[in-house]
Amino acid sequence: MLIFGRNRCNSFLRSTLLLLFSSSVFASSIHQINFDEAVRYALNTNPRINASNANIDAANAAIIEARGNNLPKVNLNVNAARSNNPLNVFSYKLSQGNASFADFGADKYTGPSALNVMPRALNSPGQYSNVNTGFALSIPIFSGGKSVAAIKKSHYLLNEAQHGNQFARNELTFDVLQAYEGTRVANELVTVAQQSLRAADSYLKMTKALLHQSLLIESDVLLAETNRRSAELTLKAAKTEVSNQLDAFRMLIGNTDNDLVPGNPVNIPLPCDAITVLKNRALSNNPQLLSLKSHMNASRAEMSEANASNWPQVDLQLRHDWNANSFALNGPSNTALLNFNWELFSSGAQYGAGKHALAEYKHAAAEFDNSSNTIKLAVVQAARAAYIAQQRLEISNQNAEAANKAVKILLQRFGQGIVPLGQLLDSQSRLDTARSQRVMERYSMNIARARLLTLLNEFNPASIQNYRISR
């Protein structure tokens, strides 16, 4: 018996250690991250940010291109040709320095009587080859302001891309907050559902005990059992919602295969400035609005670029050539060419380009004005929503406390057989609703505050805990 008892003790100890080890392994597989860490994950992996970064790279490349178009260029040209065209052959030989009197048919000239003789060497020279190798330096001199306008336009487009990138980052940060807090809310609702299920178990147990004391009837037990089943189903639905929210959160931060879960709650501050001050801050700092303003300025620069086509274009070309009847650097020559080009009539093409650029500018300006009004309205609505959400949370806290007190009072009276079960269950339902409402109102308050800070371009996850609410 002693040996058997020892074996059972050892078996129990091994089972206990195995359980503890398994629990520690399971716990280590779940890694909590704070909100700022979740945002960093999302910014490093989300396709929206990658696309926005690509827009910035494209805008930087456009600036390099615009600047390069206004700077000198060097070209290397190699042309190889073979022809029996008399004009081409003569020019080849002349360029190579190989022309002779015989190429003019001088051997056929015997005096004035031979003036009408057609020299075969000149008219039918036969096949001849030429390889032209040349370096050309092209220097823009005057473009009517077209190059300057193109560079300005490129800079404005870069600003547009940068502000667009900031807007995308802000929107992604806001989306991460919704998913982060949404997962936490789902977990808190699971806790509320667990409290409700424990209360339903307690009511069922108490109802059966009172039935044995003949203080209740059997229908009360059936009602308590129905209430317990409903509470159990609510808990299952809440756990399912946790899985859904967690999957969405992990997908948003680009870690669908990991076990990352939200950690500490996020406390979003509420700016206490006047609405007028908040609207002015939004008009000055909102990245979406700044992006539209940069786009409007780019359209204005495009108008200048289109109007520059009405002016002459002047450039200088310096060229050094070699010509030989094979691939060799023989027969060097130099050429300086000043090119003046002024398109005086284009059948309406230049006029149409200018009108098109003007229309694009008007459209961009109208879109900017419309967005300014929209953002000012959004700031007002977001500030009001944040204020109302805070009041609702305070009322929800008070309602939850009152409902909890009411349940305690009714539970005591139900145990004494003074109040019916239905009244107690109705009070418990009100308590569950108040607890759930408190959780949801806190979420709504944080989201409303975050939306306001996002409009102000002041929603920085790393610094919101130290945010100054008075300015």
CATH number for the domain including 397? 1.20.1600.10
Q: Is 25 a member of any domain?
A: no
Domain count, the chain: 2
Same structural domain for residues 234 and 132? Answer: no
What's residue 4's pLDDT?
35
Q: Tokens 């759930």 belong to which residue?
A: 436
Strand (E) or helix (H) holding 94: helix 86-96
Q: Is 72 a member of any domain?
A: no
Q: Is 28 a member of any domain?
A: no
The whole domain housing 131 covers 79-142+316-341
Q: Is 8 a member of any domain?
A: no
Counting Cβ atoms within 10 Å, is residue 202 exposed (0-12), middle (13-18) or buried (19+)?
A: middle
Same structural domain for residues 108 and 156? Answer: no
Last residue of a domain, one of 341, 358, 388: 341
Same structural domain for residues 132 and 94? Answer: yes
Nearest of 52, 42, 170, 180 to residue 460 by alpha carbon:
170
CA separation for the pair 295, 369 (Å, rounded)? 12
Task: Pick out the chain residues at pLDDT < 70.
Answer: 1-29, 108-110, 113-115, 463-471
DSSP bridge partners of 321: 134, 333
Same structural domain for residues 260 and 217? Answer: yes
> Model-level pTM?
0.77
Q: Is 17 a member of any domain?
A: no
**DSSP classification of residue 257:** T
Same structural domain for residues 320 and 447? Answer: no
Q: Is 471 a member of any domain?
A: no
What's residue 8's pLDDT?
41
What's residue 463's pLDDT?
62
Same structural domain for residues 336 and 356? Answer: no
Same structural domain for residues 55 and 154? Answer: yes
